[in-house]
Amino acid sequence: MVELIHFGDLHYGDKKEFREEWLLNVIKYINDIRPDAAICTGDVVHKGRLSQYQGIIPYLEKIEVPLMVVPGNHDLKANGIIPFERFIMPRRSKMILEDKDTIIIGLNSAKGDSSEGEIGDEQLEWCAFQFNKILENRVLALHHHVVAVPYSGRKQTTLTDAGEILEFTQLFEIDLVLMGHKHIPHAYQIGNTTYLYCGTASSIKVRAKETASFNHIILDGGNLDVDIVDSSTLERSPLFTKKEGLTRFIRPRKTRIEHLINMRLFNE
Amino acid sequence: MVNLIHISDIHYGDGEYKQEYMENVIKYINSNKDHIDAVVCTGDLTKKGRYYDFEQLSPILKRIEVPTLTVAGNTDVKNSGIIFFEQFFGPRRTKMVIENKDTLIIGIRSCKDDLKKGEIGDEQLAWVIETIQKHPKKNIVLALHHHLVAVPYAGRSWNAVRDAGELLEITQRYGVDLVLMGHKHIPHAWLFGETTLVYCGTSTTDLVRADDPPCFNEITLEDEDIEVHIINSKTLEKEVLLTRKRGVVEFIRPRKGRLDHILQSEVYK
């Protein structure tokens, strides 16, 4: 059994929309429950600036459990990859928790000054060799979406080579893919892989009636439990439950579809 | 149990269109018509949406002796082709109810004039939901041209509809059993929650990718069990694409293409 906190889209440096008290809540929550690892799926800072990286580091250093961070598109603005790698960690990273039989791989899906995502052949190959190690729980973390989520608008938020990543998850029996980017907590099940999206942990950049939030994950072989945790109240609510490979619960996302049904704009 | 034939990407009018493949497809369908409930064609009937291509293709497809549902693809709506598509093949969004098989098939238009990108739009989303609610059936099948989820080997242009998230949510909320798609000529399948996503190759052309043959899909859907075979349009040989029993996947044809290549090559060593 491995316990993870999945948070992201901190957007530190956005003077109007970043909320320090929520970030401190997230850090407190992590340090209280002591998960096996905390994984941040990018957009740590708002504009990739050196000063923003210098500002966020003291917060990240407060986290007392192993931390993985992958870069998001906002982190790589203004040549942000350089301070990202200098102050935080390499653009692609690996974490092995031997006693938890768990491997977590972080990929860079972002490119400087572009909101589009791509993994590319070189990372795909690297990733394949990392997962050659036989460990029970296999987790992949990246910033962009592999599959579109509702309510994320008309921009192309999926990777240009999403098909390859999807196939990768199936061939390499990845249990869990962690993503951020559009601040929409959501989950899909494709084959035996669960695709998990995180909201924004510490900003008011929310969509619809979401709140700032992060995910609390318990993964145990074929069983998976995910709760959303509200960053301001630290209240938990279920997002996804899977037992022995069978999906039992996915939090419904009503939003646009419900709106269309309720309004009956187009049909009698 | 409902049996479907899924054909796609005919590209009539293209130099790579092969009438002999078309004859094979029609022959296969008509000689098995007693146990085929419907044929679904997921678009790109013509190369450029030209009137004369639709006019010439129409009598050929009418030789199919099984009820057929057809949706438009991005090449069909070039040159105002949506008008001629509707004149020869019916409305841009359409449904078929097979009462004795408790089955509803819904066809939607994912393409826009002269654009390669796909989009469904709110109006059609609402119509899909209304149609499902008006015809509550055990088996629900959705057909469109573009992809909802990316497939391997499809290249770097975005092939998914821009509002894929919304349509995916419909598949999960309304218990859609099967989504049929075409577009990039890649026979493939994903198991998406309780929904199975099936992609068809090009049925009547040599516009194939990698070592895929020109082909079409034969689908058997019974409760939660699904079987999909690829049938080679040249040889009519069958190959299993997917078998799913009681919601659990038993087999999906692996597509190793690019991943195999980069694992084996020395490029990054």
- B231-244: pLDDT as tens digits: 999 999 999 999 88
Q: In CATH terms, is domain A2-263 a member of 3.30.460.20?
A: no
Does residue A253 sit at the B interface (CB-CB below 8 Å)?
A: yes
In this prediction, residue B169 has a pLDDT band, given cuts at 50, 70 and 90, of confident
At A53 the pLDDT is 97
Q: What is the pLDDT of residue A258?
A: 66
On whether residue B217 sits in a domain, the answer given is yes
* B194 burial type by CB count under 10 A (0-12 exposed, 13-18 middle, 19+ buried): middle
A contact residues 172-201, partner B, Cβ 8 Å cutoff: 188-191
Res A133 pLDDT > 70: yes
Q: Select the more confidently predicted residue: A209 or B186.
A: B186
Chain A residue with minimum CA distance to B156: A160
Residue of A nearest to B117 (CA): A156
Query: Based on the structure, what is the number of domains in chain B?
Result: 1
Q: Determine the pLDDT at residue A112.
A: 87
The 10 Å Cβ neighbour count of residue A192 is 16
Query: Mean of the per-residue pLDDT values for chain A?
Result: 91
Q: What is the pTM of this model?
A: 0.86
Cα–Cα distance between A131 and B62 in angstroms, integer? 51
Q: Is pLDDT of A259 > 90? A: no
The CATH code of the domain that includes B60 is: 3.60.21.10
B216 pLDDT tier (thresholds 50, 70, 90): very high
Percent of chain B with pLDDT over 90: 71
Q: What would the pLDDT profile of A205-227 be if each residue is shown by its tens digit? A: 998 788 999 999 999 988 899 99
Would you state the pLDDT for residue A155?
79
A156 in reach of chain B (CB within 8 A): yes
pLDDT at A171 over 90: no
Per-residue pLDDT tens for A58-101? 999 999 999 999 999 999 999 999 999 999 999 999 999 999 99
User: Smallest Cα–Cα separation from B146: which of B185, B110, B121, B101?
Assistant: B110
pLDDT recorded at residue B269: 61
Question: Chain B residues with CB inside 8 Å of A160's CB?
Answer: 156-158
Cα B90–Cα B94–Cα B100 angle in degrees, nearest 5: 115
Q: Is residue B269 included in any domain, yes or no?
A: no
pLDDT at B166: 87
- The token duo for B171 is 């598949």
More confident residue, A223 or B3: B3
Confirm or reject contact between A26 and chain B (CB < 8 A): no
Could you list the residue range(s) of the whole structural domain that residue B19 is in? 2-264
Q: Does residue B194 surpass a pLDDT of 80?
A: yes
The owner of tokens 């949706």 is B71
